[in-house]
Amino acid sequence: MNMMRIHLLAALLSAWATVQAQPSNRAPERPKPDTAAVDDKTIAALPSNLRVTRRTRQLYQSLQALPQQGVLFGHQDDLAYGIGWKYVPGESDVKRVAGDYPAVYGWELGHLETGDPVNIDSVPFDAMRTFVRDGYRRGGVITMSWHLNNPYTGSSSWDTTAAVPHILPGGSKHALYLSWLDRVADFILSLRYKGKAIPVLFRPFHEHTGSWFWWGEKQCTPDEYKALWRLTADYLRLTRKVNNILFVYSTAEFRDEAHYLERYPGDAYVDVLGFDTYMQHTGEAESGEIYRQAIRGRLDMLTAMGARRQKPTCLAETGLEQIPVADWWTGTLWEAVKDFPITYLLLWRNGRPNHYYVPYPGHPSEADFQKFVANDRVFLESDARRANLYRTNGFWGWLFRR
């Protein structure tokens, strides 16, 4: 603790006490209209796990207040590789084009469960830990997806053999599944900066309104899906005391609110509501319009559900592979999301020359991407840092910072 600051604080407190002792006829102060202060409603919206760490709770409150200012821009695997480079310290395709890192970093845990040192897309978990720390240290937000193997067959996430009943309590693969969760718990608990756990928005069992993963709509019943989610959350939070996670629930396409909520595990198990929707480019002018309409229709429903449940909302995964439309960022994506109070949107990974979702230098949509991120309401990492999402620069930060 900084002794000089403590003395200064003591002097200020005593001066303040003297002033307070005098009778005052001043009118009560009104709140400043231009602050995006956390209001009563926001304070009421607590995280689903009341034992989360202070920084995790602060992040959650910030995520709720944020849409009043802007939307965080995110990118999957941003720091690990891009088009034409791999594992170059400090590198990022978003930074190469926009001059700043994304505000949200998506990382993928697939294959952590099997004890592999590298993930499903060859990112070493040790390197991921460093990338997570780097992004967090600069003020960014971390989210994690998990394309875990099929625990019944040992094959991939895309092996749609029914597996959920086998891993629920009493099932033949229950113990195996808990051992997988142990590896996830160990990894997430190992994400620390200056001795404090780094908050993670964990997004398991995503796109479950589709049927391409073993936890999909045709692969298990709503009750089985809910039981799987609750088992996962209870084991991580209660048994393993992983208190630096918030849960993101993200479907694929959904018809209406009932469809969205059919497998919803409950407000006590979810913190952020989202969905994944990509644009399918057919080469026709209508494909942009189809995407905009789809996103807007779903965000309309999501906003209503979020408001009712006091949960922040997000566009958990989106993009147009290879971005063949030069003004896609301002003309399509921004048009689709601009009217909705989402906290973040995340573009998928720049995996290979025919599978990427943000531009690289020289890409036809580069100029439009720069225009898009220049919008005051689109937050990259330095905007996130200024928004001080973890509230680490507040009073206690000032007092204790060395």
Question: The tokens of 1 are what?
Answer: 């603790």
Where are any strands of DSSP class E within 27-159? 71-76, 81-82, 85-86, 104-108, 141-145
Q: Which of 108, 113, 271, 381 binds ligand BMA (CB under 6 A)?
A: 108
User: Any contact of residue 121 with ligand BMA (CB under 6 A)?
Assistant: yes
Q: Is 317 a catalytic residue?
A: yes
* Smaller CB separation from ligand BMA, 331 or 351: 351
Active-site residue 335, yes or no?
no
CB atoms within 10 A of CB 272: 27
Which residue in the shown chain puts its C-beta closest to ligand BMA?
108
Least distance in angstroms from the C-beta of 55 to ligand BMA? 27
Structure tokens belonging to residue 183: 């590896």
Catalytic, out of 108, 113, 207, 217: 207
Which of residues 52, 120, 184, 342 is near ligand BMA by CB under 6 A? 120
Quote the CA–CA distance of 141 and 102 in Å, as a whole number: 9
Give min distance, CB of 76 to ligand BMA, in A. 7
The three-state (H, E, C) secondary structure of 260-324, written as one string: HHCCCCCHHHCCEEEEEEECCCCCCCHHHHHHHHHHHHHHHHHHHHHHHHCCCEEEEEEECCCCC
How many chain residues interact with ligand BMA (CB under 6 A)? 8
CB of 371 to ligand BMA, least distance (A): 27
Token pair belonging to 35: 């602050």
Cross-strand partners of 378? 71
CB of 120 to ligand BMA, least distance (A): 5
Residues within window 125-154 making contact with ligand BMA, judged by CB under 6 A? 147
User: Which of 357, 185, 341 has the alpha carbon at shortest distance from 274?
Assistant: 341
Helices (H) and strands (E) in the chain, counts: 15, 13
Residue with Cβ nearer ligand BMA (311 or 349):
349
Residue placing its CB nearer to ligand BMA in the complex, 116 or 327: 116
Cα distance between residue 393 and residue 399, in whole Å: 10
Give the per-residue contact string, 168-207, with ligand BMA (x = CB under 6 A; - = no): ----------------------------------------
- Tokens 């190469």: give the residue: 96
C-alpha 171: how far from its chain's center?
Answer: 31
Residues sharing a CB contact under 8 Å with residue 243, sequence separation 6 or more, in sequence order: 49, 51, 52, 53, 56, 197, 237
Cα 276 to Cα 143: distance, rounded to the nearest angstrom: 14
CB 70 within 8 Å of CB 377:
yes
Nearer to ligand BMA, 110 or 139 (CB): 110
Site for ligand BMA in 42-101 (CB under 6 A): none
| Nearest distance, CB of residue 259 and ligand BMA, angstroms | 22
Residues 6+ apart with CB under 8 A from 126: 117
Q: Is the CB of 152 or the CB of 348 nearer to ligand BMA?
A: 348
Residue 60 or 205: which CB sits closer to ligand BMA? Answer: 205
Taking the complex as a whole, the smallest distance from the CB of residue 147 to ligand BMA amounts, in Å, to 5
Considering the complex, what minimum distance in angstroms separates the CB of residue 355 from ligand BMA?
6
Distance of closest approach, residue 317 Cβ to ligand BMA, in angstroms? 8
Give the nearer residue to ligand BMA in terms of CB position, either 72 or 120: 120
Judged by beta carbon, residue 56 or residue 76, the one nearer ligand BMA is 76
Does residue 338 sit in helix, strand or coil? coil
Q: Whole-angstrom Cα distance, residue 3 to residue 356?
A: 52
Catalytic choice (108, 113, 217, 317): 317
Whole-number Å distance between alpha carbons of 314 and 63: 10
Q: Which of residues 253-272 bind ligand BMA (CB under 6 A)?
A: none
Which 335-394 positions form the footprint of ligand BMA (CB under 6 A)?
Answer: 348-349, 351
Q: Which amino acids are annotated catalytic?
A: 207, 317
| Site of interaction with ligand BMA (CB under 6 A) | 108, 110, 120-121, 147, 348-349, 351
